[in-house]
Structure 1
Amino acid sequence: MLTELEAHLEPDEGRPGTVRPGGRTARVRATVLRAAGDALAEQGFDHLDLAEIARRAGVGKTTVYRRWGSVAGLVADLLTDMAEQSLPRARTGSVAEDLRANARLVQRTLTDPRQGALFKAVIAAAVCDARTAEALHRFYDTRIAEWAPCVEEAVERGELPEGTDAREVVRAVSAPLYYRLLASGDPLDEAAADRAAEAVVAAARAGVYVVRG
């Protein structure tokens, strides 16, 4: 029996390559991805089950298996959606303020009860699952590309030296925050975020991130 959501799908919707952005299939995708994110945050990657996610989402198992095929495929799409839904970069006109905003956004995300648990689960899964690792790399590449113009514009304004590697600067802001989340267990608060941003700005102004040769 078709679920309420599936009953509204047009014949071609749900097949790979036929999903129309904003169409009815998009609503099914959003519901399934929300259920997958909840399950991942609660149970971790090893306990994910497509049938259980279908039950949580209120859609048929065949819809989930046909659309995503595997847990790794579903997690990859979840990361794609997270990258698409993430907040846009700051535009304050100051590299110090822009990178502070970036650090605080990362800090809020990692300390959010759902999002923090979700990221821990995905990172753990990426260690042993190549498809999840690839999806995680794409997620961070998307986010770094979103924020890199903050640094590029600072170079144009003369705030930072010519040749500064914008992507390396952005990576360096969040690195100590992820270290606190995954390794040290030290407090991951707004003060830690501000210190991370301030340290990177000081290093960038000193030319630490200038590409040599």
Structure 2
Amino acid sequence: MTVEGAEPGTVRPGGRTARVREAVLRAAGDCLAERGFAHLDLADIARRADVGKTTVYRRWGTTTGLVADLLVDMAEQSLPRTDTGSLIGDLKANARLVQRTLTDPRQGALFKAVIAAATCDERTAEALHRFYETRVEEWAVCVEQAVARGELPPGTDAQEVIRAVSAPLYYRLLASGGPLDEAFADRAAEAAAAAARAGAYRG
């Protein structure tokens, strides 16, 4: 995506293009958190971001295009993986990061809105899948390191272990309810670690 009138690769990172993108994505995230995907409107986003409507329409085109770029930005801005030196320490760090994100007043509402949108819009779903794959791939390294240290059986599917950590947190957020606190996050990490040690994720 490029600014109107600019050739690809000619706009300096950190220049006006970056400032416009930052303002628009922040406004889009605020609107999603406040009102949900159904009420996302490009003209309203432009007004909130104090950006010309033409710029928003030409750069993003549709609300789904805007949400897709928002997810790219969220992946880029996510906190880096924690390396504690032990499997359970790393998995708990992952679980607590997910827990803090989902219970944050803005971020939790934002994720709910995006997940809801993904159930009925293919482009949003694809963007959401890419977002999570990016995060899973980053954190899977800690499982691979645990295999190398002998904490887990050879052949353990590292990405499946990471998915098993966060799955209960998302289930509680979206389906079952109940407190989504640090203790619950730790239990999710411990359960995934125990299953991985038992060989549940081999192959």
Query: After TM superposition, where is structure 1 displaced by more than 6 Å over at least 4 residues in a row?
Result: none
- 1:186, CA displacement in angstroms? 1.3
Structure 2, unaligned stretches of length 5 or more? none
Q: d(CA) in 2 for partners of 1:18 and 1:208?
A: 50
The match for 2:17 among 14, 22, 25 is: 25
Contact 2:118 2:124 survives alignment (8 Å): yes
SS in 2 for 1:128: coil
1:180 paired to 2:172? yes
Supply the AA of the counterpart residue of 1:92. Answer: T
Contact 2:33 2:109 survives alignment (8 Å): yes
1:152 paired to 2:144? yes
Residue correspondences, number: 202
In the other structure, the counterpart of 1:98 is 90
In the other structure, the counterpart of 1:89 is 81
In the other structure, the counterpart of 2:114 is 122
Supply the AA of the counterpart residue of 1:169. Answer: V
In the other structure, the counterpart of 2:40 is 48
Q: Equivalences for 1:32-43 in 2 at 5 Å?
A: 32-43=24-35
Supply the AA of the counterpart residue of 1:170. Answer: I
Supply the AA of the counterpart residue of 1:180. Answer: R
Contact 1:19 1:26 survives alignment (8 Å): no
In the other structure, the counterpart of 1:6 is none
- 1:24, CA displacement in angstroms? 2.0
In the other structure, the counterpart of 2:99 is 107
Supply the AA of the counterpart residue of 1:152. Answer: E
Contact 1:169 1:204 survives alignment (8 Å): yes
- 1:63, CA displacement in angstroms? 0.5
Q: Identity of aligned pairs, percent?
A: 80
In the other structure, the counterpart of 2:69 is 77
Q: d(CA) in 1 for partners of 2:47 and 2:10?
A: 24
Supply the AA of the counterpart residue of 1:179. Answer: Y
- 1:11, CA displacement in angstroms? 6.9
The match for 1:131 among 102, 116, 123 is: 123
Cα RMSD for the two superposed structures: 1.6
1:200/1:11 CA distance change after superposition, 3 Å: closer
- 1:131, CA displacement in angstroms? 0.5
Q: d(CA) in 1 for partners of 2:24 and 2:11?
A: 15
Q: d(CA) in 1 for partners of 2:87 and 2:63?
A: 40
Contact 1:164 1:204 survives alignment (8 Å): yes
1:164 paired to 2:156? yes
In the other structure, the counterpart of 2:187 is 195
1:184/1:19 CA distance change after superposition, 3 Å: farther
- 1:80, CA displacement in angstroms? 0.3
Q: In the TM superposition, what whole-angstrom CA distance separates every residue of 1:57-86 from its partner, at most 9, and x where no partner exists?
A: 000000100110000000000000000000
Q: d(CA) in 2 for partners of 1:188 and 1:16?
A: 44
In the other structure, the counterpart of 1:58 is 50
